[in-house]
Each structure stands twice: as C-alpha cells, then as structure tokens.
A and B are shown apart, each in its own frame.
Chain A
Amino acid sequence: LSSCGGDSQSSQTAAGGEKKDTIVVGLDDQFPPMGYRDDDGNLVGFDIDIATETFERMGMEVKLQPIDWKVKEQELNAETVDCLWNGYTITDSRKEEVLFSDAYMKNRQIIVVMADSEVNSMDDLSGKKLALQSESSASDALDSVPDFKNSLEEVLLFDDNNKALMDLESGGADGVLIDEVVARYYTKKDASKYRILDDSLADEEYGVGFRKSDEELRDKVNETFKEMKEDGTLAEISEKWFGEDITTIQ
C-alpha cells in the first residue's frame, strides 16, 4: 500500500494530481454539524471550516470530496482522498489502518430519549431498543461496553442519524446513541421534544485520518493545529458552531 504514497505528502495526491499543492479531504456530507450541506447545498460545518483554515495556512488548496462513509478507509488507501476529516473518531482498530493526527476535539456518545420517556438511565434501557447510525463511532462505542449492549433487546442500525431520530420519535426505538455534537445540532430545533441522559459512553476523541505513509503531512497538520490554538482561531471557529470552545489542542 505504501508504494505510491511513500515519501512526501501532498505531491503524491492522486485525486488532485494536476496541481502539486492540492489536498483532497474526504468527508461525509450527512453529518451535521461537522460536515453537511446548508440549505443551498453548500458544504459547511465545523470540520470543514477547520480543515480549510488548516490547509490554507499550509499553503495548500483544499478540495472537499464527499464519500460514502462505509468505504472511507478504502478511499483513503486507494489515494482517492488524502485525509478523512469528519468527526472521525480515533479507535484502536482504526489506528492499525490509519495514521491519526492529534485529537482536536473531545466527544461523547450520549443517549437521546423522548422528553416524556420513562427511561432515565442506561440501566432503564435494558430490554429496550437502541437506535444508532451504522458504521459510525457510536457503534464502536457500543461494542466497547458489551454488558450494556447485551442488556438491550435490539440494536437498530440506520444509514443515518436522521432516520434513527425519526424512529425514536415515532416509537420504534426507545433511545438513540449518537455523537454529542451531532445530538446538539439535531435537538436544537425541538429542544423540548428530547431529553439527554446523564449517563454517557466512554469519552472519545476526534482526529484527522491520514495514510500510514504520510507522516510528514500529519506532523505539519499537528503543528498548524498548535498555531491555530495559540492565535485563537480554533476557539473562534468552535464558538461559531458550538457557542463555546470545546477544542482540545494543547
């Protein structure tokens, strides 16, 4: 796998091959507020703002490439994208395939229930149905707590969080396990309709995924992160999207 992308970073980007300093960012365009489409169809989101800022500082041109999230690692290794940057959770099994940047943000997997639900804790969910987005870090998080998982009557895997929440609302599921940042976005409109359990699953961290061979590129991104932390850019972008600075770069 390393034969092509071996030595240097951006010069090897196949997808943007014509131009030396173009970097292709692979993302899911159905993952608000990290990356999604606004009402006019433009790609927007927290991750998109940070990625754009980071690579601009590095003197690179950014090309945003929405991909199907279920083949994201294959896209990365096939060099059709140069990094995965979209609320991409750092896990041990992914580390074997992918080179991660420093974690730039903390995330929790939280459980959303309907406001009038009798479920108040994870224990109350035993024997009930939990919905979540398939192929997401929520499913990894759930796998890491087998006792909880086994106590559930059923795990419902949906293509996207949208349908999972619809299923919750319409009574098909009793709770939705979902990235905290995403949950905030979705529940913003109808805050009174939903309730978030106090319990949450293991904390996790978002990072940017690179090919194993692109260490130089990864290091440069880490440096840029620090720069942006220092001059307050990260905080600024975070406040724009979340109303507070929740980034974790030291």
Chain B
Amino acid sequence: MAVLTVKNAKKSFGENHVLNDISFEVGKGEVIAIIGPSGSGKSTLLRCCTILEHLDGGLIQYSGDVLCKDGKYGDKEQMQNIRKKFGLVFQNFNLFPHFSVLRNVTEAPIRVAGMDRQKAEAHGRELLHKMGLSEKENAYPCELSGGQQQRVAIARAMALDPDILFFDEPTSALDPELTGEILKVMRELAEEHMTMVVVTHEMGFARDVADRVIFMDKGYIVEQGDPKVVIDHPENERTRLFLQRFAQDGVSSSKEGEPA
C-alpha cells in the first residue's frame, strides 16, 4: 500500500489557485524529488501534506488512513495520529534555539509520544551519532554550522520514527561546500530505504538519488517519471525551459543555451 496518496488536491489563497488537481502516490522506500520554478506551489503542497495548510478539496491519505477527503478533515485525535506518520525538515530548519541539540531531538518523543526519558535519549544519541553529531549533543543550535543544524533537524524529524520524511529545499540555505555533506546524508537515508519527498533545486541530487521526479508548474504536475528521462530529455516545453537555466551555472557544464 502506498505510504502517501494525494488525489485531486486543490488549494487556493483567495483568487490565487496555488494547487490545481494534484495527484500522486509515494510507495514505501521511494524517494521523490519535486522540482519546478519559484511560485509553482511546491512548498504549499508539502505544507498541505504536513497539515500546516488545509486543502480546499481532494484527498490525502497515509498508509490507508484518511487525513482529509474532499477538503474535510478528521477530528483532532485522528490528525494527531497521522502526524506521527510523517516528519518534516524545514528549509530554514526551525530548530528550537533554547534547547540543546539532544533536547531538540528528544523533546517530542518524551512530551508527545510519552516515551521514557532514558529511552528517548538513547534513541536520540543513536540518531545524532548516525548524523555525525555525537560530539554536539550538548551544543545549542546557534553554535552549529548550517549543515550541522540541518542534520539536527533531520534527526529531530526521525526521532518519532516516521514512515515518510518531507524536505523543503534542504540545501538552498547552505553554503555550497556544505551542500555535498547534506546530500551525502540524504543519500544514506535513501540507501536505508527511507521514504522521502524532497523539494529541491539540486538537479544532480534529483537525478542521482530520486526514484521519481515530479515537475510542477503553476499548481499542476506537468511531467513526472524517471529522473534521467525527465531531467535530461524533458518532453514538456515548460520543463525544458526551466532546466535550461540550470545549465548556466554548471550542472552539466554545457554552455549551449542562454536563459529565456
């Protein structure tokens, strides 16, 4: 069964139709990259999937549990139950600045999932170790580099053992040298068959790691499929135009086109 099913999702802000009939599924262990120009609705889609925004219409379902149907949401308890199934890594991390790294990771398991403190800390330390942050557990977020902060954010999201992880532009706030570091972590997660949906501008990452690429424009899914196909040989005119721009800053070292 699909971990996440989105069907005919619709969302407007006033007159602005941000999502128009979006449908896709994410299978267990799949890595999906969502690409598309600025303003195309990628972040809004992620925010709807993580209940930060409410859909106007359509269906969202996690492993068979309905979150919303035709824009109608379940009660608080149902929503709270579904929240345990996903994790979200924000673009600017949104770590809790007043908590140590370890406490950032353990607070939700202890307070929300009611986990025993000792167990939560053991699990938290394990996650931090995996992220290469063992020595930083007592540091505060402001003492960490951007890349380290992001790894804490990933550990925090993973601490509730979600079935699926969402990332919103995980590398765009980072110094280019750190980008490699964070992409390595995500590659490792992919190798462990973590289910992930990643909004990204890193074509290299999308091509190398994602199982499927979804290209969005103006609230529609314009094209989706195998990343090698979509990125290197896009069918759609809009996709082609978008990907051309990336050529400029050296994704494929090609110099053929000028930007539109």
Q: A contacts B directly in the complex (CB < 8 Å)? A: no
Q: Which residues of B contact A (CB under 8 A)?
A: none
Q: Which residues of A contact B (CB under 8 A)?
A: none
